[in-house]
Structure 1
């Protein structure tokens, strides 16, 4: 059995690496209204573990907005068969295509430590990303962690809530008495920083996340309110700081470790314009900084070249654009812009001199604070549908699609400022 499993695993991995080009045509960020793939997920043989895995996967795959789960009678494009093996901790998985497609079947194996439902959900996410990689040519974002701020009606504070994409379990992760918002992840994805509005002013707080440590550490304090700090892929932290009565500039800090825990050490001042400049976001390659400035009289998205120190305006339309968010590959920025008194999520190519914007969020809803999934296929945001009283977290394909609810809170709870971890941890 050990020899058989090794063979299955080796075959699965080798095919995993050579097949993605097959499906590039299925997902293209520049082609909205993508046609979903019809996928059947079935079991072969009796096993409690297989039953649970099939149930979880059938629930997860439609959430990617890339697949319809259908029965074999509906003539699916692809079929996934999950089978038990002689080892109760190992299942065999075979992906095959419809007759005439020329798709060579892929067989691989999954090993499980236990049958805990939350653990099986993680393994199911791993398998789901395997399918997305081989059928869509993208990495997949199932299992990635999304954190947002939640505020109950009548309370004067908000807490941070988390869930894994594809799971139905939500967990509160902060319990202080402040307003917590603006989560940003470190490059490793095992710690976060966030802003806490206190009675004295605004703090930037560090918290270890994987494993989750409830004890947090204040890194920075300023009187009054300020925008959230962001963590760059280079490990440095970027924030806006008041330098005058109506003037904020952007600064770069490094995180240093000491006997009492991490703290911030200022590296350099990045902007010095007589305007409000805020919401810094470092590009994935560390060469540019996106930010918001009202130097022309209205908030707009700008790009700062960190080598030349030259800034250029990216957003070309509208009188109010904010919340820039880089795509994982650094080619695009998503932001929210107000058009005809409604806030909408757009994306724009960074190197497009005309700043042509493509709408991501659907019509008929207010949408703000975009954030990309780790594979770039999805943009999540806070939104209100027509007639809806509270902000909720939704998401759409980055190519543009209908909106899907990410969270499950009821009426009387506002959900704002989502942040997406860089991968499955």
Structure 2
């Protein structure tokens, strides 16, 4: 039931049936309300950090310290020191000697205060336990409904203060579920919480792709009883048909400037790559290959296109110039490699490789050509990079249930975003807000 997305291009007449079969495996119970984050694995260079319970958070709708702890652990860069039992606000003076005895290098303490107008003021202080000095103060005032987002922003602030790199906790992911005869496209926080419905349909929805500014999603919907590419404005819900040519219209991917989309079309026979102008809807053919070219994506600077092709006899990942010239093969290990996603920093390529009948997430170092499988599961699909290039989200089957996972690039730290009684697919990690 998995990994049909590429194979369907070998049987254009059966596209609808095959894609329907793909989506039928998205069996889900939408009664779930939230995800539970389960972090596993041990990293070699994690920063041990203490997170105190925030003063006043016990009466708030969201507990800032709990969300902050889960975010930092999921990043793979931090290890939250357990069982400290600390409850402190940002003005409290820490017991640095005790914290050093517990091997903590840093501490976050703060408060969550409800104001007269119903909003909450979040304050926090970051301490360097080793030196005994404060590293900075954080403050923001938010509506009660934005407390979770505020905690993610605080986690991003702590992450950047201690690593020098941007965090991704306040970003979003898109994914798809199915229950009975209903398919739903969801937008959620990076930890899977706070899911908001963007679209529901009686027909399959596949291949969500974020615009670079995070305001729109492109995806494929079968509501017209054939695959059609839509562009969906998230703030208003307005939709625009972007590709409804003869045959199949699939695998949309945004250009870095948001002015065009890459897509796989079969309007002229075969399945080839096209560039579609978002304003006019005009499609320009990029590849002229007797085989199948699909699953395209741009490099961050827009100069290269990565895609999957069977031109060499089996599905492999290729790279070409933006005008369709100079195609060269990128993957050489394994006979079946699909679903490429390029890291925003341009250093890494993640994809799915079939190894001994199992489908695993691979990470390829583009400078060395070294590829490594980073999962122990056997039915992985659709990997997608976080905007800071440090984490990957993908779908898989774990303990008999389909779930979203995040992983560090070395595979050492994984977090399961497990729906309560539901299955989820087709994840796509959004850009910075």
Aligned to 2:250: 227
Aligned to 1:416: 425
Which string of whole-angstrom CA distances, capped at 9 and with x for unpartnered residues, describes residues 149-190 of structure 1? 1122x43x5221221013632232212222111111112111
Structure 1 position 274 matched with structure 2 position 287:
no
Which string of whole-angstrom CA distances, capped at 9 and with x for unpartnered residues, describes residues 100-152 of structure 1? xx4852122312133x1x41111111110111112223211102110111122
Structure 1 position 181 matched with structure 2 position 198:
no
Higher relative contact order, structure no. (Cα contacts within 8 Å, ≥ 6 residues apart): 2
Distance 1:373 1:177 in 2: 30
Distance 1:307 1:222 in 2: 21
Aligned to 2:48: 38
Aligned to 2:217: 192
Most deviating of 68-77 and 182-191: 68-77
- Is the CA contact (8 Å cut-off) linking 1:322 and 1:337 kept in structure 2? yes
For residues 84 and 334 of structure 1, do their structure 2 counterparts lie closer, same or farther at Cα, with a shift above 3 Å needed?
A: closer
- Is the CA contact (8 Å cut-off) linking 1:249 and 1:276 kept in structure 2? yes
Q: How many residues align?
A: 370
2:266 counterpart (242, 249, 254): 242
Using the size of structure 2 for normalisation, the TM-score is 0.78
1:365 counterpart SS class: coil
Aligned to 1:133: 160
1:228 counterpart SS class: strand
Aligned to 2:136: 107
2:194 counterpart (143, 165, 169): 169
- Is the CA contact (8 Å cut-off) linking 2:54 and 2:65 kept in structure 1? no
Q: Tell me by how many angstroms 1:359 deviates.
A: 2.0
- Is the CA contact (8 Å cut-off) linking 1:197 and 1:225 kept in structure 2? no
- Is the CA contact (8 Å cut-off) linking 1:187 and 1:234 kept in structure 2? yes
1:200 counterpart SS class: coil
Which string of whole-angstrom CA distances, capped at 9 and with x for unpartnered residues, describes residues 86-113 of structure 1? 99865442212233xx485212231213
Aligned to 2:124: 93
For residues 306 and 206 of structure 1, do their structure 2 counterparts lie closer, same or farther at Cα, with a shift above 3 Å needed?
A: closer
- Is the CA contact (8 Å cut-off) linking 1:201 and 1:223 kept in structure 2? no
Task: List gaps (5 residues or longer) in structure 2.
Answer: 1-41, 85-98
Aligned to 1:205: 230
For residues 122 and 85 of structure 1, do their structure 2 counterparts lie closer, same or farther at Cα, with a shift above 3 Å needed?
A: closer
Structure 1 position 75 matched with structure 2 position 85:
no
Distance 2:315 2:199 in 1: 31
Distance 1:44 1:182 in 2: 40
2:307 counterpart (270, 291, 295): 291
Which string of whole-angstrom CA distances, capped at 9 and with x for unpartnered residues, describes residues 32-91 of structure 1? 944432211225755756994334323433232332322247331211121579998654
Aligned to 1:4: none
1:346 counterpart SS class: strand
- Is the CA contact (8 Å cut-off) linking 1:43 and 1:51 kept in structure 2? no
For residues 166 and 308 of structure 1, do their structure 2 counterparts lie closer, same or farther at Cα, with a shift above 3 Å needed?
A: closer
For residues 331 and 60 of structure 1, do their structure 2 counterparts lie closer, same or farther at Cα, with a shift above 3 Å needed?
A: closer
Distance 1:242 1:395 in 2: 34
Using the size of structure 1 for normalisation, the TM-score is 0.79
For residues 300 and 338 of structure 1, do their structure 2 counterparts lie closer, same or farther at Cα, with a shift above 3 Å needed?
A: same
Which string of whole-angstrom CA distances, capped at 9 and with x for unpartnered residues, describes residues 282-312 of structure 1? 1101010000000011000000022681011
Residues 224-373 of structure 1 aligned to structure 2 (within 5 Å): 224-235=247-258, 236-242=260-266, 247-256=270-279, 264-266=281-283, 268-306=284-322, 309-352=325-368, 355-360=369-374, 362-373=375-386
Q: Tell me by how many angstroms 1:277 deviates.
A: 0.4
Q: Tell me by how many angstroms 1:322 deviates.
A: 0.4
For residues 241 and 128 of structure 1, do their structure 2 counterparts lie closer, same or farther at Cα, with a shift above 3 Å needed?
A: same
1:58 counterpart SS class: helix
2:50 counterpart SS class: strand
Q: Tell me by how many angstroms 1:403 deviates.
A: 3.2
- Is the CA contact (8 Å cut-off) linking 1:173 and 1:214 kept in structure 2? yes
Distance 2:114 2:312 in 1: 69
- Is the CA contact (8 Å cut-off) linking 2:247 and 2:265 kept in structure 1? no
For residues 68 and 55 of structure 1, do their structure 2 counterparts lie closer, same or farther at Cα, with a shift above 3 Å needed?
A: same
Which string of whole-angstrom CA distances, capped at 9 and with x for unpartnered residues, describes residues 178-206 of structure 1? 21111111121111111012453111111
- Is the CA contact (8 Å cut-off) linking 2:275 and 2:286 kept in structure 1? yes
